[in-house]
């Protein structure tokens, strides 16, 4: 049995005033029957680390540089994330692919940079609405994952994959459990062809996961938890989603 994982993706939300009660509530909700993590904006990671210290809650970032160090103004390296105890880093989120022109290869290189420093990349893949309507979903997600598999090579089994249909992100329009499962099964098969660890790898679903739809998504055989945007900013909702994964 794969243990489920629920990851909050705060995106560019939060403030010192708002973070404190949110993090305290998540910490007080322990124990959870699944693994739980929060990926906060860079500036708040140290605060999450303090709030979650000494327990089994994890934290991470939402992006990292492909470079180890150097003259890359504005970038944050995987080594810096590791120094602050980050277990995870999200790479290839559709908002980064779309607004920052991140290519499949750049995403793959970021995943590799993270793994090299012991930070687990959560690699996001997903199709747009136009691509789904054109029947291109399978091709798009396979292409996105294949770049990462190829680049990570024998380490591919160490990543977490997140399927996030772009049309479901922040729209309130979630994929049905069956739609999500179909893509997860496809991704699992692709992983099986690439690594002996595929059966143990976690494939998360993301896109308008809420307290009232989480259980039916997480009940699917290849859905191993969720990447949670909007609902991760409200303690009660996020905790309810974590409970649904237990
Ligand atoms: P959402 O975002 O839950 O607000 O749809 C998910 C994500 O983008 O990771």
pLDDT of residue 1: 78
- Candidates 164, 166, 233: which one to mutate for ligand 1, based on the most atoms within 8 Å of Cβ? 164
Q: Give all domains of the chain, ordered by start, each with its CATH number.
A: 5-244 (3.20.20.70)
pLDDT of residue 84: 98
Contacts of 48 (CB under 8 A, 6+ apart): 19, 23, 38, 40, 59
- Candidates 122, 204, 227: which one to mutate for ligand 1, based on the most atoms within 8 Å of Cβ? 227
Residue 246: band (very low, low, confident or very high) from pLDDT cuts 50, 70, 90: confident
Q: What is the pLDDT of residues 79-124, one digit of tens each?
A: 999 999 999 999 999 999 999 999 999 999 999 999 999 999 999 9
Residue 172: band (very low, low, confident or very high) from pLDDT cuts 50, 70, 90: confident
Task: Return d(Cα 187, Cα 245) in angstroms, integer.
Answer: 20
pLDDT of residue 25: 98
Task: Return d(Cα 41, Cα 47) in angstroms, integer.
Answer: 10
The rounded Å distance from CA 71 to ligand 1 centre is 32
For residue 8, the tally of other CB atoms under 10 A from its CB is 25
Of ligand 1's listed atoms, the one at least distance from the Cα of 169 is 5
| CA angle centred on 81, ends 31 and 8, rounded to 5° | 40
Q: What is the pLDDT of residues 135-168, one digit of tens each?
A: 999 999 999 999 999 999 999 999 999 999 999 9
Of ligand 1's listed atoms, the one at least distance from the Cα of 230 is 4
Active site residues: 93, 164
- The answer to whether residues 218 and 225 touch, using CB atoms and an 8 Å cutoff, is yes
């Amino acid at each position: 049995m794969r243990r489920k994982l629920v990851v909050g993706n705060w995106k560019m939300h939060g403030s010192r005033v708002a973070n404190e009660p949110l993090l305290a509530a998540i910490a007080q909700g322990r124990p959870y029957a699944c693994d739980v993590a929060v990926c906060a904006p860079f500036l708040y990671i140290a605060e999450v680390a303090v709030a979650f210290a000494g327990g089994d809650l994890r934290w991470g970032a939402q992006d990292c540089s492909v470079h180890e160090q150097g003259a890359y103004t504005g970038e944050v390296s995987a080594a810096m994330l590791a120094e602050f105890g980050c277990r995870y880093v999200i790479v290839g989120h559709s908002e980064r692919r779309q607004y920052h022109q991140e290519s499949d290869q750049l995403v793959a290189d970021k995943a590799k940079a993270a793994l090299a420093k012991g930070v687990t990349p959560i690699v996001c893949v997903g199709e747009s609405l136009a691509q789904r309507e054109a029947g291109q979903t399978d091709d798009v997600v396979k292409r996105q994952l294949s770049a990462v598999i190829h680049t990570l090579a024998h380490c591919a089994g160490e990543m977490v994959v997140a399927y996030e249909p772009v049309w479901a992100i922040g729209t309130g329009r979630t994929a049905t459990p069956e739609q999500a499962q179909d893509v997860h099964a496809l991704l699992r098969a692709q992983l099986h062809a690439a690594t002996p660890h595929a059966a143990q790898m976690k494939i998360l679903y993301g896109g308008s996961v809420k307290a009232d739809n989480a259980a039916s998504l997480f009940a699917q055989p290849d859905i191993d938890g969720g990447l949670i945007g909007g609902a991760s900013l409200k303690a009660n909702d996020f905790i309810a989603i974590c409970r649904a994964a237990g």
